[in-house]
């Protein structure tokens, strides 16, 4: 009787970032908001992977890529349970959960067509709030309209 293979072995990255613990239904959205479909870097991603913490999860590995605060804020808005793992010379040098910032500037479009940010050259600015049900929402600094995650459109 032959042994059955139960794991897929993926080569380690020497330098780069692993985005782990992405909610399964947001894996492709994280991939897209980071523009990874247009990258020259080696990218590995998986979705519906087994997770002892969440049941299922998504994972993205990007070689030779480290993210700036703006991209980390995007990840936090779309996948608030994600963990960022920085790897240098095959060693984990930093591992932290993303945290949702108090304010978001210049990365999200206001969904209100009458907002000044959609009609003049004004940078967007939002306060990140939590509603009475614990859902994250964005409140526009200018028009004060509030939008939920489903309306988030990145600039």
Q: What is the DSSP letter of 13?
A: P
Total-model pTM: 0.82
Tell whether the model's pLDDT for residue 5 goes beyond 80: no
pLDDT tens, residue by residue, 56-115: 999 999 999 999 999 999 999 999 899 999 999 999 999 999 998 999 999 999 999 999
Q: What is the mean pLDDT of the chain?
A: 90
Instruction: Express as a percent the part of the chain with pLDDT over 70.
Output: 94
Task: Give yes or no for residue 2 having a pLDDT over 60.
Answer: no
Looking up tokens 């990258």 gives: 39
Query: Which domains are assigned to the chain?
Result: 16-97 (3.30.70.140), 103-154 (2.30.30.20)
Instruction: Reply yes or no on whether the pLDDT at 9 is more than 70.
Output: no
What is the band of 131 on the pLDDT scale with cuts at 50, 70, 90?
Answer: confident
Cα–Cα separations (whole angstroms), residue 114 to 3, 84, 111, 140: 63, 37, 9, 12
* Token couple for 67: 């993210």
């Amino acid at each position: 009787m032959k042994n059955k293979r139960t794991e897929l072995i993926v080569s380690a990255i020497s330098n780069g970032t692993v985005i782990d613990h992405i909610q399964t239904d947001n894996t492709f959205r994280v991939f897209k908001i980071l523009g990874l479909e247009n990258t020259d870097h080696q990218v590995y991603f998986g979705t519906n992977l087994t997770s002892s913490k969440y049941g299922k999860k998504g994972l993205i590995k990007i070689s030779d890529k480290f993210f700036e605060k703006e991209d980390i804020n995007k990840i936090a808005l779309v996948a608030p349970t994600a963990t960022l793992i920085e790897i240098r010379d095959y060693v984990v040098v930093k591992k932290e959960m993303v945290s949702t910032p108090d304010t978001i500037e210049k990365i999200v479009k206001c969904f209100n067509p009458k907002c000044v940010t959609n009609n003049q050259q004004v940078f967007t600015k939002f306060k990140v709030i939590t509603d009475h049900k614990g859902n994250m929402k964005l409140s526009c600094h200018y028009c004060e309209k509030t939008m939920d995650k489903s309306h988030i459109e990145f600039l």
